[in-house]
Structure 1
Amino acid sequence: MGNTKLIGATPNDWLWASERMRWRRVYAGRADQVRAAREFAEALFTGMPCVDIVALAVGELAANAVRHTRSGEEADGWFGLEVVCHNPAYIAVTDMGGHGIPTVLPEGYGGSYSEGGRGLRMLYELALMFGVHGSSPLGHTVWVDIDLNRKLEGGTQSPAQLVS
């Protein structure tokens, strides 16, 4: 934790020191690894109001990486997960790139029976900020900022600010 002196500090002081807690993990580009990534993130946010939103975000972003990019197509494919426990929490998944640009579809796109395209829209609605950076040849990172105090079943809030 850098140069922070916490001798004699309480466990809560140590846990919530001013430096952000950041984790990065790499997963094989397989569907079973989506669950592993989601469970890892859930464990980090256990007991926090936002735990269900964090799990949803990791699951959706990781599943998209495996389904829609070279991460899930190539034998040595991978996706990366970055989690920052701060307020707001930062959740990002990096993929190997592929066939397009991750896009938040307009509300109501494809009708109520559409099988795809609603996941990023849902995260956009739940997040404080939402963004994508990178390129199809080199890979994208899709990220969200989530209010630590927001519950999945909580009331409505303004949609995220879209950043690229």
Structure 2
Amino acid sequence: MHEYTSMTRVWGLSCPGFPEEVSRARRWTRDILRGSPFAEDAELIVSELSANAILHTASGRDQGSFHLAVAVSAQVVAVSVTDDGGTATAPKVEHQDQDAEGGRGLGMVSTIAHRVVVHDSEAGHTVTAELFTDVRRGGGRLC
């Protein structure tokens, strides 16, 4: 293999911060991962992270947007959502009780994904959820 050739494929999508764009991001992810055993998990993760970006950050304000990336290699399927920031705190997993009506989304993502990483910058937050292809379904998850 040539030193500049990667076996990782990466796709990107930018969406205006409208609620209906969450379904577009979900469909886009499903199309990219068609046939992958991780397609449904990735679609659910993208839905939750995109909705969080619109609901909790400047992405949902006038002229706001969120950005989605899907990376696929032999070892991992990674989905990342970057928001426009505008909040004083970074996204974090909150352990809510079963009857709570909110605050459980990132916890759900961390249960589905093998690893969740949050990167902060002055421009916003990027939440990346990784699904490792070499961990058998039903086995332990590395969260």
Deviating 4+ runs (over 3 angstroms): 148-151
Q: CA deviation at 1:25?
A: 1.1
Of 52, 72, 79, 2:66 maps to 79
Of 115, 130, 138, 1:145 maps to 130
Of 56, 72, 85, 1:97 maps to 85
Which letter does structure 1 place at the counterpart of 2:140?
Q
TM-score, normalised to structure 1, is 0.77
Q: 5+ unaligned residues in a row in structure 2: which ranges?
A: none
Backbone CA RMSD of aligned residues: 2.3
Cα distance in 2 between the residues matched to 1:32 and 1:116 = 20
Q: CA deviation at 1:129?
A: 1.2
Which letter does structure 1 place at the counterpart of 2:84?
M
Q: CA deviation at 1:43?
A: 0.6
Matches within 5 A, 1:22-41: 22-41=10-29
Equivalent residue number for residue 46 of structure 1: 34
Cα distance in 2 between the residues matched to 1:96 and 1:43 = 25
Q: CA deviation at 1:148?
A: 3.8
Instruction: Verify: 1:68 aligned to 2:56, yes or no.
Output: yes
Q: 5+ unaligned residues in a row in structure 1: which ranges?
A: 5-16
DSSP 3-state at the match of 1:91: strand
Cα distance in 1 between the residues matched to 2:135 and 2:64 = 33
Which letter does structure 2 place at the counterpart of 1:89?
V
Cα distance in 1 between the residues matched to 2:15 and 2:133 = 25
**Largest Rg, 1 or 2:** 1
Equivalent residue number for residue 126 of structure 1: 112
Identity of aligned residues (%): 33
Q: 1:18 to 1:97 in 2, by over 3 A?
A: closer
Q: CA deviation at 1:155?
A: 2.6
| Count of matched residue positions in the alignment of Structure 1 and Structure 2 | 140
DSSP 3-state at the match of 1:123: helix
Cα distance in 1 between the residues matched to 2:140 and 2:48 = 20
TM-score, normalised to structure 2, is 0.87
Q: 1:120 to 1:156 in 2, by over 3 A?
A: farther
